[in-house]
């Protein structure tokens, strides 16, 4: 006699499905919000019912139910039954919306609880029908099919706590919360609002949907203990109003970089699809070198939004750190957003839970080197991948485009960090003034420099020349370049010298460039001497202890000695004759002038 042995026993399958990889309750709730938006909802509510418990002689609240309520199109009985089936759904082939995979409602729900109830209506809440999944019943073998949806009144506590009761809608309720790591409504909201505000920022910004967080006591649902709306959280810091602390809650903290949008076209399945990449970086005003911007409330907010935001159909899948330098706190000062259509899901490797684009991030982490065969060149590897029809080659194009632009933005941020204006470099101002005074004395003694002739030009011309130079040679913002130029020419104490911190191609520690009668001294932020002598002395804090200060000064002294040793070696390597003599004379001449510049009255 044969015995029925299902390939996947239902009891074991449902337990395995509970371990479906949702990062936390916030991501699971996002699946339900996706369903609401896909159903055309303009209002969504995340509701939590709590009870009071006496724990260790202290009264504490504990969440008993979590629900998502919307004013979407609702479902009929057939669609509700399908929605509660694993792997089924009404948007399996949908290439336009944020849904599609047919796993969301049941999979997300049982990852956090053992029972999920659904009420849905299409002709007023009084017409609601209901069905459910109970893990305990499935495991016991008493629940093998989705219960037939039946007319059922929405429980009183939800009707009192919720505000979204339109002609159509859906209420999904989780109970028996055995896997939700957050035990109170406040914890759920605090851990969800940041993520949900970021995931759905486009929808919130465009007023396509509002998301309300509300908590109430189970025995008194009319008493709302928490009532807030999700505020958009933009990791590119261009959208306002946002959850970023003041003053950047009402104005953008970042500015678009370049044209802000880069479009890369990917051929796939006999069609061409666009991937759009957007870039931004922190405004100068947000990163005042003396304000310790990273420790400000808005700086800490940015520190929680580090990474490349991967967007699908206007909804964020993840904030990936695949392109970031993990230990560099300056990574918070740029934003990158990559958006692709659902038609490229297979190419990007979108997971069923819509928490990642695994193919894309794997390519970013591994890079081209992992794909190049033995004795194969970079170009040959790309050509081979194209011939093989491997979509990895297109992901490489996108990943390397991001990497290239990030290199430019990081250099801009590094320059920004060091400051270029007089208000940011009080010690440089003193040096500039001292050098200017000595230069005036030398001019009176008949010493002439090539830059001196430009001092006779009209002030307006000099300012324009300096501003243009700073913009085109260093990539400074027009406003910053103009401020520096005006200060050098028309400031209270006009100076002959301006120190500018910048990334410089080549091995020079600094460059000298006369412009508009001012000698621009560019300190190369990429040179090791910069870290030894400039950065190490700039980066001290007011609350620094004596030992830390001593270490910084010792490192600076070491840097100075190494710099002199480098010159000594350079001079030693010169052959006997004119070249060695020229080096020795240059050292003597420079030392003579340095002695005068460093002398103080």
At 315-367, the pLDDT tens digits run 999 999 999 987 788 899 999 999 999 999 999 999 877 888 999 999 898 87
Directed axis angle between helix 578-598 and helix 546-572, to 10°? Answer: 150
At 487-530, the pLDDT tens digits run 888 876 678 888 887 777 778 888 888 889 998 888 888 788 88
Average pLDDT, rounded, for the chain:
85
Most confidently modeled range among 144-148, 203-207, 521-525, 543-547: 203-207
**CB environment 523-559: b (16+ within 10 A), e (fewer):** bbbebebbebbbbbebeeeeeeeeeeeeebeeebeeb
- The span from the CA of 498 to the CA of 500, in Å, is 6
- The span from the CA of 499 to the CA of 521, in Å, is 5
> How large is the average pLDDT for residues 188-193?
91
Provide the 8-state DSSP code for 492.
S
Backbone angles phi, psi at 22, to 5 degrees: -65, 130
How many whole angstroms from its chain centre is CA 322?
A: 11
Task: Locate 541 and state its tokens.
Answer: 């804090």
Q: In whole angstroms, how far apart are CA 501 and each of 243, 354, 376, 417, 504?
A: 33, 43, 40, 9, 9
pTM: 0.70
pLDDT at 424: 43
Say if CB 484 and CB 502 are below 8 A apart. no
Q: What region, left, alpha or beta, does residue 201 occupy, with left being phi > 0 and alpha being psi -120 to 50 degrees?
A: alpha
- The span from the CA of 451 to the CA of 514, in Å, is 6
State yes or no: pLDDT of 295 exceeds 90.
Answer: no
Q: For 10-229, CATH number? A: 3.30.565.10
Strand stretches in 25-122, DSSP E: 43-55, 58-70, 115-121
Say if CB 85 and CB 146 are below 8 A apart. yes
pLDDT at 353: 76
- The span from the CA of 579 to the CA of 507, in Å, is 20
Sequence ranges of the domains in the chain? 10-229, 254-417, 419-496, 527-601
At 404-456, the pLDDT tens digits run 899 889 888 877 655 544 334 444 447 888 888 888 888 888 888 888 988 88
| Burial zone of 364 (CB within 10 Å; 0-12 exposed, 13-18 middle, 19+ buried) | buried
More confident residue, 361 or 557: 361
Query: Cβ–Cβ contacts within 10 Å for residue 503, how many?
Result: 18
């Amino acid at each position: 006699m044969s015995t029925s042995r299902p390939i996947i026993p239902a009891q074991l399958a449902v337990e395995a499905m509970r371990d479906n990889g949702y990062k936390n309750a916030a991501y699971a709730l996002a699946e339900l919000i996706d369903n609401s938006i896909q159903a055309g909802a303009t209002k969504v509510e995340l509701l939590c019912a709590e009870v009071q418990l006496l724990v260790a002689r202290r009264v504490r609240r504990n969440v008993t139910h979590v629900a998502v309520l919307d004013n979407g199109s609702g479902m009929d009985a057939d669609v509700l039954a399908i929605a509660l089936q694993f792997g089924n759904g009404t948007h399996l082939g949908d290439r336009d919306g944020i849904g599609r995979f047919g796993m969301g409602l049941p999979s997300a729900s049982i990852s956090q609880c053992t029972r999920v109830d659904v009420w849905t209506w299409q002709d007023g809440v009084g017409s609601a029908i209901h069905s459910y999944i109970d893990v305990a019943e499935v495991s016991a073998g008493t629940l093998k099919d989705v219960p037939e949806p039946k007319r059922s009144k929405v429980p009183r506590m939800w009707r009192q706590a919720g505000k979204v009761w339109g002609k159509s809608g859906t209420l999904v309720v989780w109970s028996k919360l055995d896997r939700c790591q957050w035990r109170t409504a406040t914890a759920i909201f605090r851990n969800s609002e940041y993520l949900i505000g970021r995931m759905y920022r486009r929808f919130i910004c465009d007023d396509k949907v509002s998301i309300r967080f509300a908590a109430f006591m189970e025995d008194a649902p009319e008493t709302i203990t928490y009532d807030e709306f999700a505020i958009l959280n933009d990791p590119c810091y261009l959208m306002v109003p946002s959850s970023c602390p003041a003053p950047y809650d009402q104005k953008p903290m970042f500015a678009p970089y370049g044209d802000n949008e880069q479009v890369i076209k990917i051929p796939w399945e006999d069609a061409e699809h666009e991937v759009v990449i957007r870039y931004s970086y922190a405004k100068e005003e947000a990163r005042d070198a003396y304000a310790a911007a990273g420790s400000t409330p808005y700086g800490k907010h940015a520190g929680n939004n580090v990474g490349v935001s991967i967007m699908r159909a206007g909804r964020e899948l993840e904030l990936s750190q695949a392109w970031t330098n993990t230990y560099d706190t300056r990574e918070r000062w740029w934003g990158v957003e990559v958006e692709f259509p659902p038609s490229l899901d297979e190419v990007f490797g979108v997971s069923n839970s819509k928490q990642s684009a695994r193919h894309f991030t794997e390519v970013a982490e591994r890079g081209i080197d992992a794909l190049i065969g033995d004795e194969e060149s970079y170009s040959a590897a790309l050509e081979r991948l194209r011939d093989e029809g491997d979509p990895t080659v297109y992901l490489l194009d996108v990943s390397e485009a991001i990497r290239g632009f990030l290199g430019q933005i990081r250099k801009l941020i590094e320059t920004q960090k060091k400051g270029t204006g007089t208000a940011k470099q009080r010690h440089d101002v003193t040096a500039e003034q001292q050098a200017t005074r000595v230069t005036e004395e030398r001019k009176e003694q008949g010493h002439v420099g090539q830059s001196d002739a430009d001092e006779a030009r009209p002030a307006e011309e000099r300012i324009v020349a300096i501003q243009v130079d700073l913009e085109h040679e260093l990539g400074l913002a027009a406003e910053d370049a103009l401020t520096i130029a005006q200060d050098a020419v028309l400031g209270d104490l006009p100076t002959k010298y301006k120190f500018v911190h910048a990334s410089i191609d080549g091995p020079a520690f600094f460059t000298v460039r006369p412009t508009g009668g001012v000698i621009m001294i560019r300190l190369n932020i990429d040179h090791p001497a910069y870290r030894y002598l400039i950065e190490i002395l700039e980066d001290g804090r007011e609350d620094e202890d004596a030992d830390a200060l001593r270490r910084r000064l010792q490192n600076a002294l070491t840097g100075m000695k190494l710099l002199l040793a480098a010159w000594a070696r350079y001079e030693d390597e010169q052959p006997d004759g004119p070249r060695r003599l020229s080096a020795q004379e240059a050292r003597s001449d420079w030392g003579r002038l340095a002695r005068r510049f460093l002398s103080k009255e």
